[in-house]
A = this chain, B = another copy of it.
Amino acid sequence: MSEYTALSDLGEFGLIRRIQNTIKLEQKSTVVGIGDDAAVLEPGEKNIVVSTDMLVEGVHFDLSFCPLRHLGYKAVAVNVSDIAAMNALPTQITVSLAIGSRYTVEAIEELYDGIRIACENYKVDLVGGDTTSSNAGLVISITAIGEVAKGEAVLRSTAKPNDLICVTGDLGAAYLGLQVLEREKQVFLDNPEMQPDLRDKEYLVQRQLKPEARMDV
């Protein structure tokens, strides 16, 4: 039988220490990461770009079909994507969590595994955050910071008439993936003996559960 640890046994600082031990800092602009009152960054002559997104359990994700590791990955990817949309290179993130009492230490480590894998993929440093309890579900708030040469940030306001609008990927694939997952959840709720049938739906489900920020365009 696997053992689970209650978050209250570990405490906020115990959790931070456990997470901190798995974090590697890669960006040369990161001077101080997790563990002080604030992170210290040295962007040099560059401009910095700041974006923030909040994901709420029951609104943005359903843990009955979204594994915590995928959720952590996705939470980073959507923020990195906003930075890339400004023509900037993502460099650091902070992660704040409000955690309901039914979450174990192992569950939160799963979530951070996804966050860590995304950080490694996108080469961003996890430099800070806040961890608190919640009377309801899980809330994830991520702030992403990026760097861009002075004056090179691309703004919506710089779009002009006759500009071409290009879209990457398949519009609606993530939405269809969500519909597939919700249908299978309904089937499962009606009959817990059923196993979800995702054959030939791998692509759609992946677009929903593990989207990637397009850094290549």
Contact = CB atoms under 8 A, between A and B. Distances in A.
Interface stretch (A18-26, A53-61, A108-116, A178-186): A53-61
Contacts of A59: 98, 132-135
Interface string A27-55: 00001100111111111110111111111
Contacts of A32: 153, 155
A132 B50 contact: no
Interface string A104-139: 000000000000000000000001111011111101
Contacts of A148: 40
B38 A146 contact: yes
Give chain A's interface residue range (CB within 8 Å of chain B): 35 or more
Contacts of A37: 51, 82-83, 85-86, 156
Contacts of A127: 50
Contacts of A98: 54, 56, 59, 139
Contact of A96 (B31, B53, B57, B128): B53
Contact of A94 (B44, B92, B143): B143
Nearest to A40: B153
A206 B47 CA distance: 39
A119 to B, nearest CB: 15
Given A130-B53, A145-B50, A58 B135 contact: yes
B50 A39 contact: yes
A92 B132 contact: no
A53 to B, nearest CB: 5
Given A50-B128, A52-B96, 14 more contacts: A31-B47, A32-B153, A32-B155, A37-B86, A38-B49, A38-B50, A39-B49, A40-B155, A41-B49, A55-B132, A56-B133, A59-B98, A59-B135, A130-B141
